[in-house]
Amino acid sequence: MALNNITLGQYYPADSVVHRMDPRVKILLLIAVIVAIFLAGNLLAFVPVIAFLVIVTKLSKVPVKMMLKGLKPLRLILILTFVLNLFFLQGETVLLDLGFAQIKRESLILAVHYSLRLVLLVLFSSILTLTTPPITLTDGLERLLSPLRVIHFPAHEMAMMMSIALRFIPTLMEEADKIMKAQTARGADFESGNLIARAKAMVPLLVPLFVSAFRRAGDLAMAMEARCYHGGEGRTRLRVLKCEKRDYIACAVVALLIAVVVLLGYIY
Amino acid sequence: MQVTLERVTHTYQPGSPFQATAIQDVNMTVREGEFLALIGHTGSGKSTLAQHINGLLKPTSGRVLLDGQDIHQKGFDKREVRKTVGLVFQYPEHQLFEETVFKDVGFGPKNLGLSEAEIKERVVEALQKVGLGDKEIMEKSPFELSGGQMRRVAMAGVLAMRPRILVLDEPAAGLDPQSREDMLQLISGLHKQGSTVVMISHSMDDVARFATRAVVMEHGTIAMEGTPEEIFRHAERLEGMGLDVPSVCKLGMKLRAMGLPCPEDVFREEQALPAMLTLWKEGKRHGAE
Amino acid sequence: MAEPIISVDHVSFSYDEGGPMAVRDVSLTIERGSFHAILGQNGSGKSTLAKLINGLYLPTEGHVTVCGMDTQDDGKTWEIRRRAGMVFQNPDNQLVATVVREDVAFGLENIGVPTAEMPARIDKALTDVGMLKFADRAPHLLSGGQKQRVAIAGVLAMAPEAIIFDESTAMLDPQGRREVMQAVKRLNKEQGITVLWITHFMEEAVECDFAHVMYQGQIVLSGTPREIFSDVERIRPYRLDAPPMARLAEQLRAQGMPLKEGILTVDEMAEEVARLCK
């Protein structure tokens, strides 16, 4: 009961144009925007990218706070990127002499550039995961990867595995919670001791969890067979992904964005 | 040994959008030597309540007292509670993990830091109590046993802690009639030998047969409390909560509705026989007059 | 007599070649539109029999025919499973998708139903089991009885002629059991779907048209619930629980009270007692 309500991934439910977009288009556009970010040759070229980010965030109705949460786990890397670039890149114009090191104009610009690039990459990816439920994302990936069947890439099987995993994670978490409590009631201690002691203490949790996962897998396989599941062949789908006007518009906007970014890189 | 819950409230995930209060301001005492039945719908809070009795869950507010001592107080040894109050979860066989039945049952005593000899003594004793004292079974993998046997091994794992109070969450769920009856007889036997028993149950016939007192939960609070006689006298109210009543109880209600003087305190099967015979003889006498 | 939809003809089955038989020489005929129960304790072979009917297991000996198709005919496997759907015991382990609606779609997708047809069939199936308002929920947030009704909808959407319930209420609380039983009875009455109900709950078997008792892999008793269960002595050897009212009636008769034969329910008992006492 305690774990009934865990959210998977970081999907933020809302009714917005970004939410309604075809997941395939969203995935492809994310890749395109990433390319644009790498193409940006100078700080000025980031301006349209940032503007685009602001507009998309606004359209998606995702609170800014939720967006920024995605950066939290990365803050150490961000600081490190900034500081290392600041001090170790070569440059000529000295802005500030700290005695033990110097901050140069060129290195400051590059440090900002690299850090900004990282921030933008994370934020744009967050938009995809915040506006697309994991299952739809899986669906989109399956369709995008399905041409690879020619080289025997199991796109359907991968997607089915993903969706079953998504379905069972809450169930297994609830089960883990219950087993942990049951063992605690028998005096097990999951919290104290050194690393080895703690790893050993996990055995009474992990063994029953695996046994249960296998039992569930067996049951599920039988239930799926009973419902005529026989692989991806000849299967139709409830949800058909369809590109609509908004998707085409989004594509055009991103194409334009890339053009502007490249252009700005040339001019300056 | 008694456990008292004092104004206990428990809220899951407080402060999050999924905040849910499972039990609210509950006052209850588990008395020495009683067989207490916890009754209620799924989601009425009875499982949450049960997990407070042995300190697995900590109240959001309120206190849990073991013989007058607050178990969540700083400096109180939690192991004392685990030793005194044994908790058997629903489908307890799902927590078995050791290579042999012996080792699995010995897990609890080992955690208590007992010597090999003491562990052995307790394991043998616990397995004998659940009717699996066979040497051969002890060396088997618990996963080779039948469903009913696995459940009894899991129960032995709790009994090996030698708890004075035994809390069971639907111990007979999912068992077939025969294994069900065996399990209930086993629990009733433990009670007769002096254990205090708290049992969550959906079967009112079982409550009628075994319990000395019952607590009915609804929406996280105690809706009714008393001896089975007192509870089942208000059978209509139980039905109103969507709960079952013992079939003998239903028969009595039906007969009274038909205008027959069936007494209200008839709810056990063995009480039905004399009650029906009395009705019949009375009827015959009236007919003769 | 109506035409048989399922016929089991001298079937035996063993999990391991040369191993003990889980089902021994069982014959059974189920007519279209009927509601049959198979009752037995754990290990009596009742679940194995269920899986033999739906082609999940193939008989070691004998034949199982569903809608005129032999389960051993490889080419007919999927058609048999579509026409004779199955609902299992554990509500958690038979739902595949993260949203109710999509789970109901799963079977339709597997048998290649055109996308345009799906929403209507899904809505209809969910309505039939009273779960339409949960269509967009995640299955793990539903109660056990609700999950089982979703599983039923998943089978129902595939337009089956029969549904086999393999202890589908064993893990539910009394309320969940009532919900599922009511939904199934309605499907049987209103849509004529043949039901094979496998259970160890006597109270449920009592509600069926016809019951079979399995013991050690064999069908040992067959008849209407009244014929079988009102005779407490007759079912005792098969380690089944007699209905409480049948037990009470037997004890009262032993004390000389002239109750009529065949009492199973509280209502029947009350009427009979009232008749004798007034």
Question: Do the domain assignments include residue A178?
Answer: yes
Q: How many CB atoms lie within 10 A of CB A189?
A: 14
The reported pLDDT for the residue numbered A190 is 84
Q: Collect all residues of chain B within an 8 Å Cβ-Cβ radius of residue A203.
A: 97
Cβ-Cβ contacts under 8 Å, A186 against chain B = 82, 107-108, 111, 157-158, 161
Strand partners, B165: B85, B196
Q: What percentage of chain C reaches a pLDDT higher than 70?
A: 99
Strand-strand pairing, B35-40 and B61-66: unpaired
What does residue C42 show for φ and ψ, rounded to 5 degrees? -60, 135
| Residue C136 exposure: Cα atoms within 13 Å on the Cβ side | 2
Nearest to A186 among B13, B108, B143 (CB): B108
Q: Which of B176, B258, B273 sits opposite C42 (nearest CB)?
A: B176
Whole-number Cα distances in Å, A144 to A111, A124, A140, A234, B145: 36, 19, 6, 18, 48
Q: How confident is the model at residue B117 (pLDDT cuts 50, 70, 90)?
A: very high
Provide, rounded to the nearest whole percent, the portion of chain C with pLDDT above 90: 73
Segment A65-88 shows an average pLDDT of 84
Give the mean pLDDT of B19-47. Answer: 92
Confidence of residue B289 (pLDDT cuts 50, 70, 90): low
Contact at CB, C266 and B283, closer than 8 angstroms: no
Is residue A138 in a domain?
A: no
- Same domain (yes/no): A25, A90: yes
Domain count, chain A: 2
What's the average model confidence in pLDDT over B152-156? Answer: 96
Answer whether residue B69 shows pLDDT above 60: yes
Indicate whether A29 and A115 sit together in one domain: yes
Q: How confident is the model at residue B6 (pLDDT cuts 50, 70, 90)?
A: very high
Residue range(s) defining the domain that contains residue A184: 154-226
Nearest C-alpha of chain A: how many angstroms from B185? 23
Per-residue pLDDT, C2: 66
Task: Give the pLDDT of residue C92.
Answer: 93
pLDDT at A9: 60
Specify whether A32 is located in the same domain as A128. yes
Instruction: Answer whether residue A12 is part of any domain.
Output: no
CA-nearest residue of chain B to C200?
B176
**Average pLDDT in chain A:** 87
Minimal CA–CA distance to A178: which of B62, B134, B89, B119? B89
**Closest by Cα among B137, B135, B161 to B149:** B137
Length of chain A, in residues:
268
Nearest to C88 among A164, A223, A237 (CB): A223
**pLDDT of A7 above 50:** no
Residue-range domain boundaries for chain C: 4-225
From residue B21, alpha-carbon distances to B99, B102, C184 in Å are 40, 40, 34
Fold of C4-225: Rossmann fold (3.40.50)
User: In this predicted structure, which of A191-195, A211-215, B140-144, C57-61 has the lowest mean pLDDT?
Assistant: A191-195
For residue C81, what pLDDT is reported? Answer: 95
Of A1, A2, A185, the CB nearest to B54: A185
Average of pLDDT values for C174-187?
93
**pLDDT tens profile B177-233:** 888 899 999 999 999 999 999 999 999 989 999 999 999 999 999 999 999 989 998
pLDDT tens digits, C214-231: 999 999 999 999 888 888
pLDDT band, residue A2 (cuts 50/70/90): very low
Q: Are residues A84 and A178 in the same domain?
A: no
Judging contacts by C-beta atoms under 8 Å, the chain B residues touching residue C176 are: 42
pLDDT in tens, B36-63: 999 998 889 999 999 999 899 999 999 9
Residue A131 is inside which H or E element, if any? helix A105-131
Nearest to C96 by CA among A154, A161, A157, A240: A161
In contact, B258 and B245? CB cutoff 8 Å: no
Between chain A and chain C, the number of residue pairs with CB atoms below 8 A apart is 97
Shortest distance, CA A183 to any CA of chain B (angstroms)? 7
Note whether C80 contacts A: Cβ–Cβ < 8 A.
no
Distance CA B273, CA B145 (A): 39
What value does the mean pLDDT take over residues C105-114?
94
For B253, the closest chain C residue by CA position comes to C270
Q: Tell me, yes or no, whether A66 lies in a domain.
A: yes
- The per-residue b/e assignment along A153-175, b for 16 or more CB within 10 angstroms, e otherwise, is eebbeebbebbbebbbebbbbbb
In angstroms, the CA B247 to CA C208 distance is 19
**Of C109, C118, C148, C198, which to mutate for an interface test with A (greatest number of A Cβ within 10 Å)?**
C109
Q: What is the pLDDT of residues C75-97, one digit of tens each?
A: 999 999 999 999 999 999 999 99
Residue C5: the pLDDT is 95
Q: Which residues pair with C210 in a beta bridge?
A: C36
Q: C239-273 pLDDT, tens per residue?
A: 887 888 888 999 999 998 899 888 888 999 999 99
Question: Do A222 and A255 lie in a common domain?
Answer: no
**Could you give all domains of chain B from N- to C-terminal order, each with its CATH number?**
3-232 (3.40.50.300), 246-289 (no CATH)
